[in-house]
A and B are shown apart, each in its own frame.
Chain A
Amino acid sequence: MPKKKAPRKPKLAVWKFASCDGCQLSLLDCEDELLAIADAIDIAYFPEATRAVVRGPYDVSLVEGSITTSHDAERIHKIRRASKHLVTIGACATAGGIQALRNFQNVNEFISLVYAQPQYIETLKVSTPISYHVFVDYELHGCPINKVQLVEVLNAFLNNRRPVIPSHSVCVECKRQGTVCVMVAHGTPCLGPVTHAGCGALCPAYNRGCYGCYGPNDSPNTTSLADRFEHLGLDHAGIARSFRTFNANAAAFRHESEAHEHNI
């Protein structure tokens, strides 16, 4: 191919599925870096920020949200076909999100309780992450994601390198910061030991246990942690509930909550 004089800027698209918008807004929240981002990439499709649409294909697609309707289950395939790299952002897109709580119940019961006119609601029985449907190049965890990590992922894809996003526990972040362990010193149940780092160990720094917003880390021993929670006074319902939040459908958390649900 002949070389072009001015290289084309990579095209970025941001797609929304079932989600709260919080993760894609992290991109707008990048205030200091936003101009650099806009300088380096062509924001081709980002309805949250602009109505202007640049046609695909796209170099990088950021996908927020989970698949909860048959329409979305088809739409994600079109996006995959139009994207060179597909990166999912946030707990919904990587694990199914808080809306995956439906996966443990009969969704029709929720619909009849929540909506005045349930007949207009058309939804799938389960909420599933994007990776259940299409190949995903990279999954960025968090509820919401950390904007610094988002910039790092974009940066890595733009520069053809691997993102520097550690997959170890939140405990590493606590210890590096010098935060006193809330579980050992206060007896507060904390999901930090089984949770993927990335938030900067925010909750323990404020004397709260980790809620597991970033989902399971690379080798979560949830069973041992759940035993400890029991020792600290949580009953089976409490343990099941602690694993059943934003990442309830992530395999390790799902298995642990189900193990305790059956003991209630």
Chain B
Amino acid sequence: MEASAQQEEKPVAVEGGLRTGMINATEMQRLIDVLRKEGYQVLGPLLRDGAIVYDEVEAAGDLPAGWMDEQEGGVYHLKRRDDDALFGFAVGPHSWKRYLFPPMRRLWQAERKGKGKFRVIPEEETPQRRAFLGVRACELAAIAIQDRIFMQGPYVDPVYAARRQNTVIVAVNCGHAAATCFCASMDTGPQVRQGFDLALTEIVDAERHVFLVETGTETGAALLAKLEARPATNDDLAEARRIVERTAESMQRSLDTTDVHDLLLGNLDHPRWDEVADRCLACTNCTMVCPTCFCSTVEDLTDLSGKTAERVQLWDSCFSMQYSYIHGGSVRMSGMARYRQWLTHKLASWIDQFGTSGCVGCGRCITWCPVGIDLTEEVRAIRATAPPAPALEDESEY
């Protein structure tokens, strides 16, 4: 099983200082205070409108203690837990992408300067230092994917890069998997492996409510040093691993990624695409909640006098008709073409483009699809009825 293989790679006690420690749940307030004192805006999970969303957390009391989520295709419910776990839920409608790659951002303004001349006023952004509290393994994988897109290609997005550099990540190992989770299949979780400053594992039972704290960076180590921590014993480490193992074992959904690239791209005329299009609303929700989807559009606005103009960048989606609009009309008129574009990009051509799958197995697209379309089911259906492995002659045509 993939999850147990991951645990060998887990960073454990490293020489040169305290790299792990145990803190009481009450230390969460101190962690928030320390971060805030160092100028970080702390963003974390909190209850709002019947869901656990990410927003500014000022005190540990803001965290959704004792709440968990129940998720299915098109369904999300909050439920009381029988303990006071602070992170006893899976993932909600928000992802961290809204803070690194915001839904709306002004790129520049322009001002008319006499006849036929104008001056561009660049948008200056002073990056706010931010701490993300409660980042899951799948979300770390998603952030790594967006890092590759925005920072590691030939064109670096300076605003993303600045925001990213000013972000401290406090990850959390999952003690609970929603029914829509399938990170184990995508090899991204539930154990966090890299990309964090601190990683927490919440241990809550009749006797104790504590966190195992592991450090991933010097920044993380410095933070841990400011907390009231005791050294972690081997038993603590074993207990923490058991929790994550149980989470991996309880995962109900799976996606068989074997040759998924060729499977999807070799079955572009499969009848299943039409069947899913009958249900697909092309509403864009799956792409908006996806932590890796990175498409945007720009809108140019002018004032009535024609003296000033501005350009804004907005989240866009391959499910909208206008997304594929070129001279003469939209390239992908049908819902079928749009769903197929999304899924083949996410699971197949993303690999050609960026070297990894675009899916981290967080399950958001399943839960937040208003009609509950499940990509794992779609892939399974295509695999079950696909004609035997058609050899791809020329991938470039896709």
Contacts and interface: CB of A to CB of B under 8 A. Distances in A.
Interface residues of A, number: 43
Given A158-B304, A186-B50, A221-B279, 4 more contacts: A166-B320, A167-B321, A171-B288, A219-B282
A186 B279 CA distance: 21
25 contacts: A37-B304, A39-B305, A158-B304, A164-B300, A167-B321, A168-B320, A168-B321, A168-B322, A169-B282, A169-B284, A171-B288, A171-B370, A172-B320, A175-B103, A181-B285, A183-B370, A184-B74, A184-B75, A193-B283, A193-B285, A219-B333, A221-B281, A223-B278, A225-B371, A227-B279
A151 B282 contact: no
Question: Interface size class for chain B?
Answer: 35 or more
Contacts of B53: 178, 180
A33 B103 CA distance: 26
A218 interface: yes
Interface in A1-55: 33, 36-37, 39-40
A185 B304 contact: no
Contacts of B104: 176
A152 B370 contact: no
Contact of A166 (B98, B322, B368): B322
User: 5 closest pairs, A vs B, by CB?
Assistant: A175-B288, A193-B283, A176-B103, A168-B320, A193-B281
A164 B304 CA distance: 14
A194 interface: yes
Contacts, number: 129
Given A164-B299, A181-B93, A185-B93, A176 B284 contact: no
A176 B315 contact: yes
A70 interface: no
Contacts of B317: 168, 172
Interface of B: 48-51, 53, 74-77, 93-94, 98, 103-104, 278-285, 288-289, 299-306, 314-315, 317, 319-322, 333, 335, 367-368, 370-371
Interface in A172-204: 172, 175-181, 183-187, 190, 192-194
Given A178-B98, A180-B50, A218 B320 contact: yes
Contacts of A154: 304
A185 B76 contact: yes
A177 B300 CA distance: 20
A117 interface: no
Contact of B321 (A36, A180, A183, A219): A219
Contacts of A184: 74-76, 93, 367-368, 370
A155 B302 contact: yes
Contacts of B280: 221, 224
A207 interface: yes
Nearest to A168: B320
Contacts of A223: 278
A193 B288 CA distance: 13
B49 A176 contact: no
Given A180-B93, A185-B49, A193-B370, A175 B322 contact: no
A176 B314 contact: yes
A172 B286 CA distance: 10
A39 B74 CA distance: 50
A159 interface: yes
B49 to A, nearest CB: 4
Nearest to B71: A184
Contact of B284 (A155, A171, A178, A190): A171
A177 B93 CA distance: 12
B302 A175 contact: no
Contacts of A185: 49-51, 76-77, 93
A178 B51 CA distance: 11
Contact of A36 (B303, B315, B333): B303
Nearest to B320: A168
Interface string A207-228: 1000000000011010111011
A193 B94 CA distance: 18
A82 B284 CA distance: 41
Given A175-B289, A184-B74, A185-B93, A192 B304 contact: no
Nearest to B315: A176
B308 to A, nearest CB: 11
A190 B283 CA distance: 12
Given A39-B305, A158-B304, A184-B368, A172 B284 contact: yes
Given A164-B300, A176-B104, A218-B321, A227 B335 contact: no
Nearest to A164: B299
B315 A159 contact: no
A194 B281 contact: yes
Nearest to A40: B304
B371 A227 contact: yes
A141 to B, nearest CB: 15
Contact of A228 (B282, B303, B306, B371): B371
A84 to B, nearest CB: 18
A260 B94 CA distance: 35
A194 B285 CA distance: 12
